[in-house]
């Protein structure tokens, strides 16, 4: 049985002060959502603060990105072993904002996925199509291509300790959510692609939905057979909203 994972991607938002408040709220309500795993993804500079606030609680933390390299002359980058120092459990790789705004290719995302595994941090691999791609009817081939780059480099067994997030780009930050059926169709497709390589791994891999998920729609999304939680942007910046989403899937 797959446990729901509810993940808050804070993107480039927050301050030390607002983060203290947000974490306080999450910690106070976390006990009510014992049936789901919770994780938050602050900007890099706040990871020490988040570690300090969350150590000893049931809430995990991680970062929104990492370098494909372990160390060296890569100005501005942050490496996997550094994240290990801060006891990160998860790391997001291949978010659509990284792919589109910072030119991350499928191959680079796969190398980042490998870099996370090397330091025993679970990658959350983001995949998803743009509106143009959906309109062209190529959603499945886009998602398959993004997934294949990782499977070819790391193999299916890697997904024993990894998570996938399906985030249709047209639903991110737009207020436009995929319908539960639209999301379920892609989630089932992703699971079938994993199952072609190993049905046991496919059956236990968590696949999250992301894209304008909020308490008003999260219950019906997470009720779908292949949706195992959410990767939440905007609504994760409010402790009450984030916890309400987590509760709705229990």
Give contact residues for ligand 13P (rule: CB under 6 A).
Answer: 9, 95, 167, 172-173, 210-213, 231-235
CB-nearer residue toward ligand 13P: 98 or 111: 98
CB of 197 to ligand 13P, least distance (A): 26
Out of 129, 133, 154, 167, the active site residue is: 167
3 state SS of 208: strand
CB of 154 to ligand 13P, least distance (A): 21
User: Which class for 180: exposed (0-12), middle (13-18), buried (19 or more C-beta within 10 A)?
Assistant: middle
Give catalytic status of residue 187 as yes or no.
Answer: no
CB of 213 to ligand 13P, least distance (A): 6
Give catalytic status of residue 167 as yes or no.
Answer: yes
CB of 209 to ligand 13P, least distance (A): 9
CB-nearer residue toward ligand 13P: 156 or 172: 172
CB-nearer residue toward ligand 13P: 156 or 233: 233
Out of 95, 97, 129, 154, the active site residue is: 95
User: Which class for 45: exposed (0-12), middle (13-18), buried (19 or more C-beta within 10 A)?
Assistant: exposed
How far apart CA 61 and CA 127 sit, in angstroms, is: 21
Catalytic residues: 95, 167
């Amino acid at each position: 049985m797959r446990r729901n994972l509810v993940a808050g991607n804070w993107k480039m938002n927050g301050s030390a002060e607002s983060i203290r408040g947000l974490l306080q709220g999450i910690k106070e309500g976390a006990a009510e959502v014992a049936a789901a795993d919770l994780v938050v993804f602050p900007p890099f500079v706040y990871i020490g603060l988040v570690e300090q606030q969350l150590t000893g609680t049931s809430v995990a933390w991680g970062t929104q990105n990492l370098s494909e390299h372990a160390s060296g002359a890569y100005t501005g980058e942050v490496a996997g072993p550094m994240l290990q120092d801060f006891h990160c459990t998860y790391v997001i790789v291949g978010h659509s904002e990284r792919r589109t705004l910072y030119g991350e290719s499928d191959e680079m995302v796969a190398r980042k996925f490998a870099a996370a595994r090397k330091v025993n941090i679970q990658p959350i691999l983001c995949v998803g199509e743009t509106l143009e791609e959906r309109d062209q009817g190529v959603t499945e081939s886009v998602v398959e291509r993004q997934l294949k780059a990782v499977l070819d480099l790391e193999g299916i067994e890697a997904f024993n300790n990894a998570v996938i997030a399906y985030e249709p780009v047209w639903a991110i930050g737009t207020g436009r959510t995929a319908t539960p059926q639209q999301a379920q169709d892609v989630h089932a497709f992703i699971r079938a692609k994993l199952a072609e390589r190993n049905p046991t791994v496919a059956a236990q891999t968590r696949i999250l939905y992301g894209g304008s998920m909020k308490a008003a729609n999260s219950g019906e999304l997470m009720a779908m057979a292949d949706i195992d939680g959410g990767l939440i942007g905007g609504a994760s910046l409010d402790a009450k909203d984030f916890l309400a989403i987590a509760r709705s899937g229990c």
